[in-house]
Amino acid sequence: MLRLITDFDGPIIDVSERYYRVYQWCLEKSRFLEQPVKQLDKAEFWNLKRSRVPEKQIAILSGLDEAQAQEFAQLRRQTVHTEPYFGYDKLAVGAVAALEKVQQARVDLAVMTMRRERELEYAFNQHNLGRFFPKNRCYCLTNDYVKTRDIDDKPLLMEQALAELPTACQTWMVGDTEADIITAKNHGVKVVAVLCGIRDRAQLELYKPDLIVNDLSEAVDLVLNRAVSQVS
């Protein structure tokens, strides 16, 4: 049996608009009345995020001072994963077709995400994605889980998944961050990094994934082709 474990935000969901709207709101909340600021356009902002420029630095580049930048960063952390903003998320281009291809190929498909249960359920309902992932193939944080860092928390989900899921002859992970790459490599799972998420190529290359492709569609084609070539 071939298994594909995919991250959610990045490969399947495009979060760029949510992150940008939160940036705009935090900038407005953190500036003084009448203070001129330089609001970055979405492309500028997203490029900074993808290259891992810290939140405080983004705030300073937008015209805030050091103290305001600290407030901005704190506001952003408190706001970015709240329900009013999840409505800005949209499906990544080609993601649904890629998931359908995985199903048709009878590949065992699981999702592994740093979203909490309610956040994942919200997105499933919003985009009709639950059809791809039964409950026993969903690995996410409980609603009351106290987060530390993704690179510490996500490997725990992988450990749980590998202990619970049926044995597979081959397992692949698809993700868009260093946490996905570290998680897979720590557990001996092959990992494909995608460029459609929150990290750029330079950041992904630092962690040496097995492959880097543009999106989930390319990742699925690659995994299926590799599986066929190995069988033949």
Q: In this structure, which amino acid lies at residue 142?
A: T
Sheet holding 170-175, edge to edge: 138-141, 108-116, 2-6, 170-175, 190-194, 211-213
| Strands of the chain, DSSP E | 2-6, 13-14, 90-91, 108-116, 138-141, 170-175, 190-194, 211-213
Position 228 scores a pLDDT of 66
Position 184 scores a pLDDT of 98
Position 183 scores a pLDDT of 98
Position 199 scores a pLDDT of 98
Mean pLDDT by 10 residues, the chain (232 residues): 97 98 98 96 98 98 98 97 95 98 97 97 97 98 92 96 95 98 97 98 98 98 84 50
* Token duo for residue 70: 């600290």
| Alpha-carbon span 148 to 131, nearest angstrom | 30
Short-list 82, 112, 91, CA closest to 21: 82
Annotated domain spans of the chain: 2-14+90-231, 16-86
The pTM score is: 0.95
Position 230 scores a pLDDT of 66
For the domain spanning 2-14+90-231, the CATH number is 3.40.50.1000
Short-list 132, 130, 129, CA closest to 105: 132
Position 226 scores a pLDDT of 86
